Chain A
Amino acid sequence: MMTVHNENKKRSHRIDWKKIFFDRVMLTMTGVMAICGTTCWWLRGPEAFFDSFHSDLQTLVDILPKIALALMTAALVQSLVPREFIVRWLGEKSGLKGVSIATGVGVITPGGPMMSFPIVSAMSNAGTGRAALIAYLTSWETLGFQRILSWEFPLMGVEYAMIRAVASIPLPFLAAWMSSFLPPAQTVDPSSEATMTLRGGQD
């Protein structure tokens, strides 16, 4: 638990401007954006260009406060619900109960893939079955609260976001069920001591 906290602190203390403005994703996106903007000006005229600019600005003003609040919520959940807690909850359960718990925990897992995949790996080492692992990832990907709060509420509106979330509730169960038709996975020794391997999985 200490190491997780220290990592968070280290990451959050200084702002790396170079990384923000000059990393590959940012440069690629800016490049493509410049090309599209020029093409837009050229093909659709300056009016369309500024029209697009204007509506983007409106969207931005509308969503920035919401995103700020959502990030705050996510950061607080992250510090209030340690990763170990999530892994402990999942343990080595399987069957419908395991899949249901995995789905529920997927919803509350905060953070991006750098958070969820170490959890999946730790769970796998602890002997959690493939169906529950797939349910967990599917749930985190389609029902994760952080994405719904930070992106869908601000950009799609609460109503559409909720409809999408409700439509996605069956998905983790379906994915788990469908995975049962696949050839058996080579499991990590399921009889292994959960607590022992838990520690190892987090390194």
Chain B
Amino acid sequence: MVAIFILGALALSLAIIALRRSPTLLADALRSAIYRFVELTPRLIVGLLLAGFVGKLIPSELVAGVIGPETGLWGILIASLVGGFVPSGPILAFPIVVVLLGSGAGLPQVVAFITAWSLLAFHRMIIYELPIMGWTFCWQRIVASLPLPPIAGGITIGLMKIYYG
């Protein structure tokens, strides 16, 4: 509910700004958003179905036991490792996140998973980063990023203590 309110307000105010600048700008943006939506939806459906079936196949006790809220630092490290090897875009990664949260994974562990996936996603590295930035930049960025997923997970533990008490 909150999400749809925030998103709606954002989209509306930006649409007004665009409209005041030029109606073509708004029309172009609308068109490109519709295109992206049509392109995304079939993949999202497949991604959700896939992650859902995998969730049924992997017992939730296993998920909760390995990366549950009580698994602490170990769970965070395991989640970081697994997240780094998800070779796909958000289309599959976020359905996996939904399944993980639904099967009893802890938020700090999920944060570590998302951080590792977004920093190390190697499909993106191979397609964009290596050809554009070169090998040296690529490995240096990876090395500088390696400790970040566990750190983000650790900060999340602290934030949850403050936020939820």
A residues 114-140 touching B (CB-CB < 8 Å): 114, 117-118, 120-121, 124, 130, 133-134, 137-138
Distance in Å: Cβ of A73 to nearest Cβ of chain B:
5
Contact mask for chain A residues 130-158; partner B; CB cutoff 8 A; 1 contact, 0 none: 10011001100110000101111111111
Residue contact A157 to B90, C-beta cutoff 8 Å: no
Interface magnitude class on chain A: 35 or more
Return the chain B residue nearest A135 by Cβ. Answer: B144
Contact mask for chain B residues 46-80; partner A; CB cutoff 8 A; 1 contact, 0 none: 11111011111100000000000000000000000
Return the chain B residue nearest A21 by Cβ. Answer: B42
User: Which chain A residues border B141 with CB–CB below 8 Å?
Assistant: 133-134, 137-138, 175, 179
Count how many pairs of residues, one from A and one from B, have CB atoms less than 8 Å apart in the complex.
253
Instruction: Give complex CA distance A45, B153 in Å.
Output: 36
Instruction: Give complex CA distance A164, B40 in Å.
Output: 24
- Residues of B within 8 A of A (CB-CB), count: 84
Contact mask for chain A residues 14-49; partner B; CB cutoff 8 A; 1 contact, 0 none: 010001110001100110110011011001100011
User: Which chain A residues border B115 with CB–CB below 8 Å?
Assistant: 142, 168, 171
Residue contact A121 to B132, C-beta cutoff 8 Å: yes
Return the chain A residue nearest B10 by Cβ. Answer: A73
Instruction: Give complex CA distance A130, B25 in Å.
Output: 35
Q: Give A residues with C-beta under 8 Å from B.
A: 5, 8-9, 11-13, 15, 19-21, 25-26, 29-30, 32-33, 36-37, 39-40, 43-44, 48-49, 51-53, 55-56, 59-60, 63-80, 112-114, 117-118, 120-121, 124, 130, 133-134, 137-138, 141-142, 147, 149-160, 163-164, 166-168, 170-171, 174-176, 178-179, 182, 185-186
Q: Give B residues with C-beta under 8 Å from A.
A: 2-4, 6-8, 10-11, 14-15, 17-18, 21, 25-26, 28-33, 35-50, 52-57, 88-92, 94-95, 97-98, 101-102, 107, 110-111, 114-115, 118-119, 124, 127-129, 132-133, 136-137, 140-141, 143-145, 147-148, 151-153, 155-156, 159-160, 163
